[in-house]
């Protein structure tokens, strides 16, 4: 995991986030498998990238990196590993600051033993949150940890690592040119919303005819996806029975904050365009 700091003629200069921010370089020839027309389209300053180390010159301190050699599967694994380690680091750093301890000492006393015992300290923290352990037991059994530090860590992970709701979205086009037209579309969309549940309610909004956006907020991502797919199926059955059609433009998926902000900007623009402005109304004769 690297952060791009500068772009030069030879390639992109970066900091290795997992190695105390030491400097490395993604060579120009290692940016992409395709012909490079513009470096700025491939990497941008301050953006995080996933790369592979291809050479290290210990004498000169050069670290050559490659972006094009990274497989898509490796990207997912690397992001997961990095995010887990970052979460663990934030927990231990918080405990170190609160109790005036050296962070390295907490890793020796708590972090590394939890990695060894549970495979990953993050997994240990998740077990503590899930309540899987029997009463009277905790993830620190067998470790020498001061009670106040133990309590501080448990309180922090309950506050910071508790499951966060995800937003799932799908874009659909619903049309019906038969006599029942609009009423048929309304009935179909209501049939879709009814497939929501208490833990994953479904809402459908009009973007611009015939495009609609379906959303749900849920802690259980799998449940959310299942409800959304069932809703799309219900809409399809209902609208086709009335002679209409359904076209899924974007299948249900968890969306990022950026995608949501882009959608909201589009909705705001459409709302603004539809508003009446002075001069729209016919003048009195």
Spatial separation of the C-alpha atoms in residues 248 and 104, rounded to whole Å: 52
Peptide linkage before 210 cis (omega within 30 of 0): yes
pLDDT tens digits, 200-235: 899 999 988 899 999 999 888 889 999 999 999 999
Cα separation, 13 vs 18, whole angstroms: 16
**Confidence (pLDDT) at 285:** 46
Residue 246: both structure tokens together: 């359904």
Question: Residue 278 pLDDT more than 50?
Answer: no
Please determine, for residue 127, whether its predicted confidence score (pLDDT) is greater than 90: no
pLDDT at 271 over 80: no
Report the distance separating Cα 210 and Cα 134, nearest Å. Answer: 54
Neighbour-count burial for 53-76, b at 16+ CB within 10 Å, e otherwise: eeeeeeeeeebbbbbbebeeeeee
Q: What pLDDT, on the 0 to 100 scale, is given for residue 3?
A: 93
Tracing tokens 């937003």 back to the chain, one arrives at: 167
DSSP string, 35-70: PPS-HHHH--TT-EE--EEEEEETTTTEEEEESTT-
Domain extents in the chain: 2-68, 74-160, 166-274
pLDDT value at 257 more than 90? no
In angstroms, the CA 170 to CA 245 distance is 16
Residue 256: band (very low, low, confident or very high) from pLDDT cuts 50, 70, 90? low
pTM of the model: 0.55
Look at residue 236 in the predicted model and tell me its pLDDT. 95
CATH class held by domain 2-68: mainly beta
Residues 238/245, Cβ–Cβ less than 8 Å: no
Q: Can you tell me the mean pLDDT for 59-73?
A: 88
More confident residue, 131 or 123: 123
pLDDT at 138: 81
The DSSP secondary structure of 204-232, one letter per residue, reads: EEEEETTEEEEEEEES-HHHHHHHHHHHH
Per-residue confidence at 34, pLDDT binned at 50, 70, 90? confident
Averaged confidence pLDDT in the chain: 85
166-274 maps to CATH 3.30.70.1130? yes
Whether the Cβ atoms of residue 239 and residue 178 lie closer than 8 Å to each other: no
Residue with tokens 């797919």: 229
| List of residues 6+ apart from 165 with CB closer than 8 A | 217, 218, 219
278 or 127, greater pLDDT? 127
CATH of 74-160, one of 3.40.1520.20, 1.10.150.190, 1.10.1060.10, 3.30.1390.10: 1.10.150.190
Q: Per residue in 177-195, pLDDT tens?
A: 999 999 999 999 999 999 9
Counting other chains too, the contacts that 175-181 makes at CB distance below 8 Å and 24 or more residues apart are: 175/210, 175/244, 175/245, 175/247, 176/239, 176/242, 176/243, 176/244, 176/245, 177/243, 177/244, 178/242, 178/243, 178/244, 180/242, 180/243
| pLDDT, tens digit, 9 for 90 and up, residues 100-121 | 999 999 999 999 999 999 899 9
Does residue 272 register a pLDDT over 90?
no
**Which contiguous run of DSSP H or E holds residue 270?**
helix 257-274
Per-residue pLDDT tens for 76-89? Answer: 888 888 988 999 99
């Amino acid at each position: 995991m690297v952060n791009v700091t500068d772009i030069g003629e030879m390639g992109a200069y970066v900091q290795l986030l997992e190695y105390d921010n030491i400097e490395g370089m993604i060579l120009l020839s290692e940016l992409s498998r395709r012909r490079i027309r513009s470096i700025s389209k491939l990497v941008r300053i301050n953006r995080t990238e996933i790369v592979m180390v291809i050479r290290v010159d210990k004498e000169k301190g050069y670290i050559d990196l490659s972006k094009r050699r990274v497989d898509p599967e490796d990207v997912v694994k690397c992001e997961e590993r990095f995010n887990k380690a970052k979460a663990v680091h934030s927990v231990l750093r918080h405990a170190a600051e609160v109790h005036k301890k050296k962070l390295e000492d907490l890793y020796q006393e708590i972090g590394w033993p939890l990695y060894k015992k549970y495979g990953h300290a993050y997994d240990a923290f998740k077990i503590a949150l899930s309540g899987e352990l029997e009463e009277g037991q905790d993830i620190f059994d067998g470790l020498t940890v001061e009670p106040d530090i133990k309590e501080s860590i448990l309180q922090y992970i309950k506050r910071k690592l508790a499951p966060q709701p995800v937003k799932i979205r799908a874009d659909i086009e619903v049309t019906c040119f038969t006599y029942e037209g609009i009423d048929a579309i309304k009935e179909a969309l209501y049939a879709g919303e009814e497939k929501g549940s208490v833990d994953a309610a479904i809402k459908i909004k009009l973007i611009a005819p015939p495009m609609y956006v379906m959303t749900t907020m849920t802690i259980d991502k799998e449940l959310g996806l299942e409800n959304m797919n069932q809703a799309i199926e219900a809409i399809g059955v209902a609208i086709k029975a009335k002679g209409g059609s359904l076209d899924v433009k974007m299948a249900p998926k968890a969306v990022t904050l950026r995608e949501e902000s882009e959608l909201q900007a589009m909705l705001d623009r459409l709302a603004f365009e539809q508003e009446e402005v002075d001069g729209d109304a016919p003048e009195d004769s």
